[in-house]
Amino acid sequence: MDSLLVFMLVWGVWLITPVLIDGVDAVSRLVVVKTRERGLARRREVPDDELPTVSLIVPAYNEAAVIDRCLTSIKAQAYPHEKFEVIVVDDGSDDGTPERVEHHANGGSTENGDAFRLRGRAIRVGPFRGTITLIRRQRGGKSEALNAGIDASSGEIVINIDSDVVLHPMAIRNIAAAFVRDPKLGALTGSIEIDWDVLESRDEHGRLVLDEEGHIVPRTLTAMERFLAKAQFLEFLSSFDLGRRAQALTGTMFTLAGACSAFRRDILPCGPCYSNTTVSEDTCLTFALHRNNVTIGFAEDAKIYLEPVVTWDELYAQRARWTRGQLEVCGLHEEIIGTHKHGAFSRRSLPKTLLLDHTLAFPRLIWAPLILFFPMFGYSWSVIGMALAGMYAFYVAIEAVNTTTVFAMSDEHTRGRIEQCGWTLLFLPLFRFIVFHFRFSGFLVTLMEEPQWTIQGPVGGMQDGLRLMRVRSIEFVTMVASSLTTAVLRMGRVTLSVLGPLLVTVIVLAGRLEALWKRSA
């Protein structure tokens, strides 16, 4: 009986924790997506004369390296150009970003002849008959830049995108069509997909590298950069094609993606839409829309391509910032958590998110190293190794089921990309394990540091620490050498001051003794 109790306490707690936290959550998302989408009506094509006017807001700060490809992909949109305007808000850039925007606004072409890479191939852009407006302002942050762009816009639909994304040619049309089909829809988020081909090769002067045909040459990634890119690709597929889709179907959208969010103008507040009280202004606006009972959707056919983060430091800064923003926004809206005022979002989704992502983060932190203490209960290392292998296989199975589900719903290109990530899928649980600790660091950052957009990563921090240690070591050796030199000099002066007169006296006495000796002789 005692052995059974120990078995249940040890293996029960260790096995049930991940099954309840990750297994049930993954299965529930799959059930929602597979059951609720069956009842959706077949989408009808929306003709040009039914499409609304659209304002596309692009905030930019020191984005000279990427703004060309973003604006070029905008000019390639299959949307009536006379029905949409582009407003770029420069937030005090000092790297030539506004000059690049003005070049596009004046009808100029880029150094590669108005082309951009999308899904592994170069796409040429024809004449653009729409308008591109540049707003210059002093540095005030992304939220204030977005507010300035919205204030200057006039479209019935307002779409905000990041300046480093690439839009599929049908993205704007599919977003606008979603609002036409569903008059109750107040806001939506696009489908963000990681595309490592968006990364461009540049020479030592920062210019694009072109092949013989004038096409952009993609950047060659290292093995680690390829792993990070493919892991994020699979992660984003699960997060958007399953996660955001399920949230839209259940009315529990947690965050409108900052990379692409769209709104009806009449549901936006009269004052500033985005708040600067948090580093996650898009989540804060999403909560505000829920409080106004706005219907928020997901446009799975509005593809927005984002370049991957290819260094661990940048990934750490990104995930720590996301976690901090999530906590800050929940703190600002804590009075609605668990209430029935705003439907399933406040009643069920918010408490569940806080429980899984935050409350259980602390036991999850000690869950993995807990197995190291199992030998104290009489279990051999071979049994422990089998348990670890079984648990890792459980997480690989979750990722495989998620990816297979997304594969079945994806287009041909995305399926091809998924097939390229077969080996990466086996290491995705390890990637998520590392990212979890990055996110946990975000909790500590929230408690101890002021809000900031950029956070130093662990690799850079270690490198800076080693450099500081080297500098301090040099300073210490220099100080010791200087102290020894000073001590030697002081001892020399003391020696000369004491022995000098003595030597002079000895020399004088020796001279006098020699003279006396000579006289006596």
pLDDT of 234 > 90? The answer is yes
- b or e along 310-338 (b: 16 or more beta carbons within 10 Å of the residue's beta carbon)? bebbbbbbbbbbbbbbbbbbbeebeebee
pLDDT, tens digit, for every residue of 4-29? 655 665 566 666 667 767 777 788 88
pLDDT of 168 > 80? The answer is yes
* Number of neighbours of residue 107 by Cβ within 10 angstroms: 9
453 band by pLDDT with thresholds 50, 70 and 90: very low
CA distance 54 to 66: 23
CA distance 90 to 138: 8
CA distance 515 to 475: 58
CA distance 38 to 275: 37
Q: Which residue in the block uniquely carries the two structure tokens 């296989």? A: 393
Q: Which residue in the block uniquely carries the two structure tokens 């918010």? A: 350
CA distance 377 to 369: 15
CA distance 19 to 367: 12
Q: Is the pTM above the cut of 0.85?
A: no
**DSSP line for 220-245:** PPPHHHHHHHHHHHHHHHIIIIIIIH
Higher pLDDT, 155 or 275: 155
In sequence order, the 6+-apart residues with CB closer than 8 A to the CB of 211 are 217
pLDDT of 387 > 60? The answer is yes
Using alpha carbons, list the distances in angstroms from residue 349 to 13, 170, 241, 334, 361. Answer: 25, 32, 18, 13, 17
In sequence order, the 6+-apart residues with CB closer than 8 A to the CB of 197 are 117, 118, 119, 120, 218
CA distance 467 to 470: 5
pLDDT of 520 > 60? The answer is yes
Contact predicate 297/180, CB 8 Å = no
pLDDT of 114 > 80? The answer is no
Give me 26's structure tokens: 């993954």
Which residue, 107, 126, 125, 111, is CA-closest to 64?
111
pLDDT, tens digit, for every residue of 173-232? 999 999 999 999 999 999 999 999 888 888 777 777 777 766 777 888 999 999 999 999
77 band by pLDDT with thresholds 50, 70 and 90: very high
Inter-axis angle of helices 422-448 and 312-332, to 10 degrees?
50
CA distance 112 to 215: 7
pLDDT, tens digit, for every residue of 132-164? 999 999 998 899 999 999 999 999 999 999 999
pLDDT at 233: 96
pLDDT of 112 > 60? The answer is no
In sequence order, the 6+-apart residues with CB closer than 8 A to the CB of 102 are 134
Angle at 85 between CA 83 and CA 91, to 5 degrees: 165
In sequence order, the 6+-apart residues with CB closer than 8 A to the CB of 395 are 18, 22, 428, 429, 432
**DSSP line for 69-124:** HHHHHHHT-SS-GGGEEEEEEEES--SSHHHHHHHHHTT---TTSSEEEETTEEEE
Cα torsion angle, 323, 433, 260, 317, sign: positive
CATH number of 17-38+51-358: 3.90.550.10
**DSSP line for 185-221:** EEEEEEEEEE-GGGSB-B-TTSPBPB-TTSPBPBPPP
Domain-by-domain residue ranges, the chain? Answer: 17-38+51-358, 472-521
Contact predicate 55/268, CB 8 Å = no
83 band by pLDDT with thresholds 50, 70 and 90: very high
Q: Which amino acid is at 313?
A: D
pLDDT of 455 > 90? The answer is no
CA distance 190 to 188: 7
In sequence order, the 6+-apart residues with CB closer than 8 A to the CB of 77 are 84, 167, 169, 170, 171, 172, 173
First vs last C-alpha separation in the chain: 117
Higher pLDDT, 473 or 358: 358
Angle at 441 between CA 285 and CA 286, to 5 degrees: 10
pLDDT, tens digit, for every residue of 32-66? 887 776 545 567 788 999 999 999 999 999 998 89
- Using a pLDDT cut of 90, give the percent of the chain over it: 41
